[in-house]
Amino acid sequence: MRLKYYETMNKEAVELSKALPEEKSELYKKFFVPLPLESFAKELKAAGSPEEEAGQLRAISDEAARNLNIKFDAAIGSATAIIKEGVGSIRVVKVSDLTDSQLMGRMYRSSDDRLVAFIHAYTKRLVFIEVPDGQKAELSLLLANTAPMVTQIIVNIGSGAELELLEWYASRTQEASLLGAIHEITVGKHSNAEMNLVHNEGPATYVVGFAKADVTEGAKLRMNFVYNGGMSTRVKNVVNANGYASGSEIVEMVMGSGEQKFDLNTVIANIGQDTVSDLGSKAALMDSAVCILKGFAEVQADARGSRSFVNERGILLDNRAYVSSIPGMSIGNANVKATHSSATAPVDEDSLFYLMSRGADVTDARKLLVSGFFSGSIAKMKSAVVKGAVGSLMNEKISGRRFGGIPMLNTSSMWFDTSQVDPDSLGGHYKYRDLR
């Protein structure tokens, strides 16, 4: 019954979405990556094969533990979910077990976006991640599928709590597939959360991501998005600094190659007084990859004393690669500080020559420039394991255009500016190289 209700909502939302200016505008269409989601509807309804999927989840988990020292607490597929014993912070609940009010009380409404409606309509289970008041949690989650999959992840962080979360997205199907997720995040008063979402889906997979976050009084949320995999990616994130003196820092790192396409639409909103919102998007593209960065800062009328920053940067490693950055702002209060900027450039030939004149071959020199480009963002991640994993993904991408798998730990050309590194989390960047 409830699924039917969702399908009705979906149909209504699709109709609604046709009227949305961003879908209709000829100008916007140029900066929009279309996704043929409806073609996956039939497969999303099917039950899938739990055994096959469980086997794949275990295989990926084992590989991640072996290669990158990542030990997942839970692995979620389209037909099955495996949660490590003793991990109480993660629950997987069937949609059919939820009440109508719970379903309707979702932060992201179907009418927000037709792709949201689509995910709502076809989600079979919700993943709850909960950190009680005053508690600390470090969690890692694998989301992988053998068939098209959409899921919803509800993150509730209590007051005075801390969360460090890794979500690793993998999809190894050879046929065209879909991996979609909606996040609804609430960060309780004076809490601190870091979420690392690493997308490394295979080249046949369409990626859809939505996140809506509310950051309450005195709380801090940092979200690091790494987009390395997938055929086409479309993302829409809305992060609200609601409470007094709350803050959000959103980092987007895109490493594209081949024909990959990325469409990132992120809104940071200063709603409460004395809030800080910071969006930094970086894209390094090879071959014919395309990336559209649409960062938007919204400073609302009550956000006196707030600070808001949008910074979009691109580096083009090939002539055919294309970055379109469209930063925007809407300022509703005069007593705020708000800046936005964007810059995209090809690889600097003089920098390349300088590095090569010291013995680095052209691939290593490019790796160096890309690692330098991303290093400030990577260095701020708390977990050395995540840093190593992200660095390894990027190395593998630049070296052999490979993505979608679990790389071997290889940070040999990834160097992080130690001035920005928390020494407790990394122990010095030299230590990094010893992890090989």
Partner 1 sequence: MAVTLEIRGLCVSTQGKEILKGVDLTVREGEFHVIMGPNGSGKTTLAKAVMGHPAYKVTAGDISVNGESIKGLAADKRAKLGLFMQFQNPVEIEGVGFVNFLRAAKESVTDGTVDFKQFMGDIKSYTEKLSITNGIIGRSLNHGFSGGEKKKAEVLQMAILKPKIAIFDEPDSGLDIDAVRAVAESINDIAAKEHTGLLVITHYNRILSYMQPQFVHIMADGRIVAEGGHELIMKLEKEGYDSFVKGRHHKE
Number of neighbouring beta carbons within 10 Å of residue 345: 10
Q: Is 369 in the site for partner 1 (CB under 8 A)?
A: yes
**Residues 75, 214: Cα–Cα separation, whole Å:** 26
Q: Is 309 in the site for partner 1 (CB under 8 A)?
A: no
Q: Which stretch binds partner 1 (CB under 8 A): 8-16, 246-254, 329-337, 356-364?
A: 356-364
**Which CB atom, from 97 or from 348, has the smaller least distance to partner 1?**
348
**Which CB atom, from 299 or from 384, has the smaller least distance to partner 1?**
384
Identified binder of partner 1 from the candidate list 14, 95, 204, 356, rule CB under 8 A: 356
Q: Residue 241 forms beta bridges with which residues?
A: 215, 270
How far does Cα 72 stand from its chain's mean position? 17
Least CB distance to partner 1 at residue 429 (A): 6
Least CB distance to partner 1 at residue 411 (A): 10
* Order of strands across the sheet that contains 337-346: 81-83, 74-76, 136-145, 162-171, 192-199, 220-227, 247-256, 276-285, 307-316, 337-346
Cα-based distances in Å from 29 to 243, 263, 321:
35, 11, 19
- Specify whether the CB–CB gap between 82 and 74 falls below 8 A: yes
Count, residues near partner 1 per rule CB under 8 A: 34
Q: Is 384 in the site for partner 1 (CB under 8 A)?
A: no
Least CB distance to partner 1 at residue 67 (A): 22
Identified binder of partner 1 from the candidate list 324, 412, 425, 435, rule CB under 8 A: 412
**Which CB atom, from 132 or from 376, has the smaller least distance to partner 1?**
376
Q: Which stretch binds partner 1 (CB under 8 A): 103-111, 229-237, 269-277, 360-368?
A: 360-368
Q: Is 429 in the site for partner 1 (CB under 8 A)?
A: yes
**How would DSSP label each residue in 156-219?**
EE-TT-EEEEEEEEEE--SS-EEEEEEEEEEE-TT-EEEEEEEE---TTEEEEEEEEEEE-TT-
Q: Which stretch binds partner 1 (CB under 8 A): 77-85, 108-116, 336-344, 370-378?
A: 370-378
**Residues 287, 317: Cα–Cα separation, whole Å:** 7
Number of neighbouring beta carbons within 10 Å of residue 277: 29
Q: Is 375 in the site for partner 1 (CB under 8 A)?
A: yes
Q: Is 360 in the site for partner 1 (CB under 8 A)?
A: yes
Nearest Cα to Cα of residue 198 among 59, 394, 40: 394
Q: Is 24 in the site for partner 1 (CB under 8 A)?
A: no
Least CB distance to partner 1 at residue 402 (A): 22
**Residues 274, 335: Cα–Cα separation, whole Å:** 10
Q: Is 132 in the site for partner 1 (CB under 8 A)?
A: no
Sign (positive or negative) of CA dihedral 347, 349, 354, 356: positive
- Specify whether the CB–CB gap between 182 and 154 falls below 8 A: no
Q: Is 413 in the site for partner 1 (CB under 8 A)?
A: yes
Identified binder of partner 1 from the candidate list 192, 224, 275, 371, rule CB under 8 A: 371
Binding string, residues 310-349; x marks residues near partner 1 by CB under 8 A: --------------------------------------xx
Q: Residue 152 forms beta bridges with which residues?
A: 126, 182
Which amino acid makes up residue 103?
A: L
Which amino acid makes up residue 378?
A: I
Q: Is 221 in the site for partner 1 (CB under 8 A)?
A: no
Tokens of 27: 């100008």
Q: Is 424 in the site for partner 1 (CB under 8 A)?
A: no
Q: Which stretch binds partner 1 (CB under 8 A): 134-142, 177-185, 237-245, 410-418?
A: 410-418
Identified binder of partner 1 from the candidate list 127, 323, 416, 426, rule CB under 8 A: 416
Identified binder of partner 1 from the candidate list 108, 210, 296, 374, rule CB under 8 A: 374
Q: Is 353 in the site for partner 1 (CB under 8 A)?
A: yes
Which residues contribute to the site for partner 1 (CB under 8 A)?
Answer: 348-351, 353-362, 364-365, 368-369, 371-376, 412-413, 415-419, 429-430, 433
